[in-house]
Amino acid sequence: MKYLTLAVGLGLSAVAVLVVPGSGATASTQAATVADRPHPVASKFLKQRPAWTRCGDGELRTYCAKITVPRDWANQYAGNDLQIAVSKVAPAKGRPSRVVFGNPGGPGGAGLGMAPYLASQAPLAKDHLAVGFDPRGTGGSSSVSCDGAPGYTMDARDHDPRTRGLIAEASQLAQPYCDSQSRGLMPYITTAQTVQDMDLIRQLLGYDKMDYVGYSGGTWLGAYYQTYFPEHAGRFVLDSNTDFTGSWLDTFSGQPQAFERRFREDFATWAAKYDADLHLGSSPGTVVRLYERLRRALKAAPATEEFLDGAVKITYDENTLDQLITGDLYSKLDFHSLATDLRFLTDLSAAQAKGGPRAAQRQVDGLPAARQQQLVERAQRAPIGLRMLGEVDSENATFTAITCNDTPWPQGREYGEQLAARLGPHYPLVGWTMAENPCLYWQRPNLTMPTPTGKGLPTTLMVQSVHDPATNYGLAVAAHSRYAGSRMVTVTGEGDHGVYGGVNKCADRIVNTFLTTGVAPAKDVSCAGEGIPAPGPEVPGADAAEGAPLQKIAGFTKTVSGYLR
């Protein structure tokens, strides 16, 4: 997600009362009833028998189906029912005694890959039915769209009143486009509706309790499932935590400081340590200044180059340089790729300044075809997790709907500009983008969800790295302090977004013990980070981050999606 064009990685906007005349937004919002509490399930939904079909490679043992859910859980006989795509992987032998659901975050990330991913974790594969699903609005489920909505092509750091006006106008136009493209479905894309979809899936699978692993925006979803259905909540793992005890505004307002810390204290320090190999600067400050110089140069003279069969415009902003940096801060395994690309873009910009576009193009032509392809793919890649607005329209639209619909935002242009002015000077990588937010102009459905407190629940295991860029550690600690019965596993000396499943062996052991036995640490614990790998002898490939949990999940999702019609 261009940072949550709202903030990064996660996030998005703020609510406002302003609506473009004639957009239809007011009518669709007022027509929506709300599911702010659990509703008994109508028999027609409980009687359905999903038709499971193999999806993806046979070795994944994954089966997929679509289940029917009401468009509005508070009005189940209104018609216009929705379809939810679900995946499952059973143990190779025997009937599983437990079921574990997974969600990769976003909010709005397609999640069919969660089933084969969770099943690939050896301890879970023995006795858990692993389940993934595409939440309503996204992926193979009934989807929404904001296609055609204006993007943020202006520089968020530009203080010119005309630029600020364009940002406000783009934000204000988002809801009319989303409503017109989504057949009136946007008001029903909320966490309150989604958790009831999840509980229907649980019932159809025949389990009384659900275990759960949720990353990033999936921690918000998990906490709300526990709140709506405490009697059916089993062993819940919330990894890379939003402040699910507060508002989306709280979570996104914490992103600028977290991204800046990750960039300066982790990446820049690492790059300076290996300056002999990377040539970005011998001190963290030098590395940061190289980025700022490059940004200014690309703003003054963007570079449009021919890569293979297509042209790529290399710019300073969230569309290229800033997105490249923020996207690669999610996983330490991407640091080498980021350093290599920064060096190349610096040389490209210098060549253009000295010899013009032809000199810049010669820089590109001198690259091997594989390296050109890698640069194109990385320029088009969107971060995963509390995501930024990126490449998949239904995921972006769902992200917008969830973050704008679930909890109130301050209304209007003034708040966003004040927030950007407060955070931008201190955290320029992301802080200035806080005014780029459709939620500031969004009419919400009449929804008030109960605040998650954790009271009456079994232990919830929270996992968090201290320098996570997308979900600020301080906010995770605050949520932990307000969530009764939770235990926090803190990974120190680490900043990856998405920990369970390969980032830290200590954390993996604790999570696996909890999921398989129900035994949680008696108190909060810490695991030491395992360090950032040194640059290797080869230029890292496009799949260099395949070891990162959220990248693995995305790969599985791509493999098993598209088999249902």
Q: What is the pLDDT of residues 33-85, one digit of tens each?
A: 566 789 999 999 999 999 999 999 999 999 999 999 999 999 999 989 999 99
How far apart (Å, rounded) are the C-alpha atoms in residues 273 and 525?
Answer: 30
User: What are the angstrom distances between the C-alpha of 165 and each of 154, 177, 418, 423?
Assistant: 10, 19, 14, 19
Q: Is the dihedral of CA 50, 552, 497, 7 positive or negative?
A: negative
* Band of pLDDT at residue 374, cut at 50, 70 and 90: confident
Identity at 272, one-letter amino acid code: A
Sign of the Cα torsion 392, 393, 399, 400 reads: positive
- Cβ atoms of residues 278 and 536 within 8 Å: no
Residue 131 and residue 114 in contact, taking contact as beta carbons nearer than 8 Å: yes
Q: What is the 3-state secondary structure (H, E, C) of 332-356?
A: HHHHHHHHHHHHHHHHHHHHHHHHH
Q: In 301-334, where does DSSP find H-type helix?
A: 321-328
Query: Do 350 and 298 form a contact (C-beta atoms < 8 A)?
Result: no
Measured at the CA of 297, the angle between CA 291 and CA 299, to 5 degrees, comes to 100
Cα(325)–Cα(314) distance, rounded to whole angstroms?
13
Token pair of 222 as six digits = 């998990």
Asked if residue 382 has pLDDT above 70, the reply is: no
CB atoms within 10 A of CB 506: 15
CB-based contacts of 442, cutoff 8 Å, min separation 6: 13, 14, 15, 16, 174, 175, 404, 405, 409
Tens digits of residue pLDDT in 185-223: 999 999 999 999 999 999 999 999 999 999 999 999 999
Three-state secondary structure call for residue 47: coil
3-class secondary-structure state, position 85: strand
- 77 burial via Cβ count (<10 Å: 0-12, 13-18, 19+): exposed
Pairing of strands 303-307, 310-314: antiparallel
- Band (pLDDT 50/70/90 cuts) for residue 546 is low
Sign of CA dihedral 322, 326, 332, 333: negative
Q: Is the pLDDT of residue 462 over 80?
A: yes
pLDDT in tens, 392-408: 799 999 999 999 999 99
Q: How far is CA 38 from CA 48, 151, 191, 444, in A?
A: 20, 37, 12, 20
Distance CA 243, CA 50 (A): 35
The average pLDDT across 222-246 equals 98
Contact assessment for residue 244 and residue 479, using Cβ atoms and an 8 Å cutoff: yes
Residue 98: both structure tokens together: 């437990």
- Taking only the tens place, the pLDDT of each residue in 408-425 is 999 999 999 999 999 999
Tokens of 212: 């759960």
Name the least confident of 266-275, 309-318, 466-475, 544-553.
309-318
Q: Is 536 exposed, middle or buried (0-12, 13-18, 19+ CB in 10 A)?
A: exposed
Mark out the alpha helices in 229-319 (DSSP H runs): 248-253, 255-261, 269-273, 275-278, 284-300
Average pLDDT score over residue span 539-550: 65
pTM of the shown model: 0.92
User: Closest by alpha carbon to 172, among 276, 19, 352, 360?
Assistant: 19
pLDDT digits (tens, 9 = 90+) for 465-506: 999 999 999 999 999 999 999 999 999 999 999 999 999 999
> Is the Cβ–Cβ distance between 423 and 256 less than 8 Å?
yes
Quote the tokens at residue 76. Answer: 């189940």
Q: Give the residue carrying structure tokens 């486009």.
A: 177
Q: What percent of the chain has pLDDT over 70?
A: 89
Query: Residue 357: what pLDDT?
Result: 87
Instruction: Tell me how far CA of residue 324 lies from CA of 110, 377, 483, 548, in angstroms.
Output: 22, 11, 35, 17
The answer to whether the bond into 107 is cis (omega within 30° of 0) is yes
DSSP summary character for residue 42: P
Average pLDDT of the residues in 109-131 = 96
d(CA 171, CA 285): 34
Angle subtended at Cα 74 by Cα 70 and Cα 77, rounded to the nearest 5 degrees: 50
CA distance 115 to 552: 12
> Is residue 23 pLDDT above 50, yes or no?
no
Mean pLDDT on 249-265: 97
Q: What is the 3-state secondary structure (H, E, C) of 368-428?
A: CHHHHHHHHHHHHCCCCCCCCECCCHHHHHHHHHHHHHCCCCCCCHHHHHHHHHHHCCCCC
